């Protein structure tokens, strides 16, 4: 029997280690991709006699969603919301983004959680290119909102990583962490995170 660790053991150990947090850009991409999937989902399940018309309609929806301001994808240009003062409109956008991203801020813990759907009419490379361009053109407010959401993920990651390192070093056990008996080390880390 060899003293080396098998690849299965390495995989199980690395699966316990918390996944790195998503950046603001990753969250923006996830947000816009979910909006595109929601908009095109209605046509994908139905039988349509005019497939070319449905494809061009989906392409138009995709372009509109991706190029529109985050939080206002489904708002027409004649909607009264555009008459609101800029500060109020920004608050409305931020609350909509936060609400839509609830539960979607962290990397998928289980790879099966992610729905693998091809976005109708747009390939992965084309969508990635378009998203990069839109992120580069995004206003500071949009980048700020997604940056704040990314900060939430970073704080969670640091806490989970500290817990992982303490368990790995044998300082505390998983049961102690679950019961909140993690000692002063984690309490000190948590207080540092809240002071930031």
This prediction has a pTM of: 0.69
Q: How far apart are CA 30 and CA 24, in angstroms?
A: 10
Per-residue pLDDT averaged across 2-26, rounded? 70
pLDDT recorded at residue 45: 46
pLDDT recorded at residue 4: 53
Per-residue pLDDT averaged across 103-111, rounded? 73
pLDDT above 70 for 37:
yes
User: pLDDT tens for residues 130-170?
Assistant: 889 999 999 999 999 999 999 999 999 999 999 888 887 77
pLDDT recorded at residue 153: 92
Largest Cα–Cα distance of the chain, in whole Å?
74
25 within 8 A of 135, measured Cβ to Cβ: yes
């Amino acid at each position: 029997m060899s003293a080396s660790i098998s690849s299965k053991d390495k995989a199980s150990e690395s699966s316990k280690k918390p996944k790195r947090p998503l950046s603001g850009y990753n969250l923006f991409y996830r947000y816009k991709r979910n909006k595109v999937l929601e908009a095109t989902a209605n046509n994908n399940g139905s039988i349509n006699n005019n497939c070319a018309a449905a494809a061009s309609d989906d392409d138009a929806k995709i372009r509109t969603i991706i190029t529109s301001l985050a939080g206002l994808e489904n708002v027409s240009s004649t909607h009264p919301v555009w008459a609101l003062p800029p500060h109020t409109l920004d608050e409305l956008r931020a609350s909509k983004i936060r609400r839509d991203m609830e539960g979607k801020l962290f990397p998928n813990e289980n790879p099966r959680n992610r729905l693998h759907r091809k976005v109708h009419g747009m390939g992965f490379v084309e969508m990635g290119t378009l998203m990069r361009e839109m992120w580069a053109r995004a206003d500071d407010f949009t980048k700020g909102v997604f940056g704040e959401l990314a900060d939430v993920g970073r704080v969670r990651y640091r806490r989970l990583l500290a817990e992982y390192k303490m368990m790995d070093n044998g300082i505390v056990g998983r049961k102690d962490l679950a019961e909140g008996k993690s000692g002063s080390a984690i309490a000190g880390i948590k207080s540092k995170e809240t002071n930031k």
